[in-house]
Structure 1
């Protein structure tokens, strides 16, 4: 895998950062982008380089199709290829649906769903040419149930959309040696939620504990590997049974 290149949207911290560090240990070059986390992005890139791998850390709001295109062109221009796309960004806010603003509503789709479309269509041509590629996106553990979510409605609908887009891309790209899959986390200790909130949720998790970053990394590692060549259009629940 020494020649392989991964692009990680939302790779500055949390699950995206952990996946990037794991790929670096396996010889991948890692390009990450972020919207606001400049300090974390620089620190993650330096940590990747300390593992002996190449790293790029780029401020790019890939909810803007022009910024997404510029980011992909930069990576391909410097490293010549993109073999894997990991969509790890997933911001959300809790607000009653009837109190949601127009701006807040659009933001949930702009930052959770649209980048998957923008980036996938940009990286797919090179993957098709090389007849190998991996696209992995993060949804949420109960998105496939399509239940009512009055406090996180926009975010939830966007994550359902990730599953549909994943399956659609999987069908289109399978003939070219490209797999497209989703990982749907429940409660993962990634730093995005207070520890007290995590502890309070344990009673709702059948496994009896909150997941670790290493749990997310192990699933992503498999889906990005050659061993997963026949796995596409999948949605792997990463939740200890929550949301199933």
Structure 2
């Protein structure tokens, strides 16, 4: 039986690169989108051209019932769910004292809560299969408790993703399920690009991020870990 993968937010950007990398590895894939249907269809066709089955599914994963529906549809249409990559997450840069209640909630909902909702829905499918790989997308330096006044809400959410991932990794280790985090630094599609702050002097290529995800997918004895793909940024 061919293994299957769901990548949230995979119509474009990092999510698309990860999904296509999984398709090249032979996974049947579910392309998830919220609003970008045209881009999702293009990505679906690109994955299908690699010789795998590819479907596209719409959902707002900040809503628990929609997250559940997304996972159920992916597992039903693909015949199970073995790999989940939680890539959805908005970014906000604003002084913390000017962060509105709505902005604060959006950061937690899109980065932390969405990861929780989708993963909790996926776990039973992986337990039944006796195999699972969960890879959550973090943020370079989020595990270091440093003051980041301009992106506080975002970093708090990503630190929460890391803590959730570690706890889940410990709980699921004996059931053949690993849970890990890939933490990007400044990538080629980042909103701000302060290259002068990166020790390696260049942006991360999206394929480099995808390869880090593939490492966690391939390895069965690595769990609860964080890989930073950041060129030394935020050390």
Give the TM-score taking structure 2 as reference length.
Answer: 0.96
Question: Once superposed, what is the RMSD of the aligned Cα atoms?
Answer: 1.2
Question: What's the counterpart of residue 106 of structure 2?
Answer: 107
Question: What's the counterpart of residue 183 of structure 1?
Answer: 182
Structure 1 stretches of at least 4 aligned residues deviating more than 6 Å after TM superposition? none
Structure 1 residue 237 corresponds to structure 2 residue 217: no
Deviation, 1:32, is 2.1
In 2, Cα distance between the equivalents of 1:156 and 1:91?
A: 11
Structure 1 residue 90 corresponds to structure 2 residue 89: yes
Structure 1 residue 209 corresponds to structure 2 residue 202: yes
Give the TM-score taking structure 1 as reference length.
Answer: 0.93
Deviation, 1:192, is 3.7
Answer yes or no: is the 8 Å Cα contact 1:10–1:88 preserved in 2: yes
In 2, Cα distance between the equivalents of 1:79 and 1:89?
A: 21
Unpaired runs of 5+ residues, structure 1, are none
In 2, Cα distance between the equivalents of 1:182 and 1:84?
A: 13
In 1, Cα distance between the equivalents of 2:166 and 2:35?
A: 30
Answer yes or no: is the 8 Å Cα contact 1:69–1:122 preserved in 2: yes
The DSSP-based 3-state class of the residue aligned with 1:143 is coil
The DSSP-based 3-state class of the residue aligned with 2:167 is helix
| TM-superposition CA deviations, 1:59-79 (whole Å, max 9, x none) | 200110000111111112212
Question: What's the counterpart of residue 64 of structure 2?
Answer: 65
Question: What's the counterpart of residue 135 of structure 1?
Answer: 134
In 2, Cα distance between the equivalents of 1:66 and 1:217?
A: 28
Answer yes or no: is the 8 Å Cα contact 1:6–1:82 preserved in 2: yes
Unpaired runs of 5+ residues, structure 2, are none
The DSSP-based 3-state class of the residue aligned with 2:106 is helix
The number of residues matched between the two structures is: 235
Answer yes or no: is the 8 Å Cα contact 1:83–1:133 preserved in 2: yes
Matches within 5 A, 1:108-123: 108-123=107-122
In 1, Cα distance between the equivalents of 2:112 and 2:123?
A: 17
Question: What's the counterpart of residue 163 of structure 1?
Answer: 162
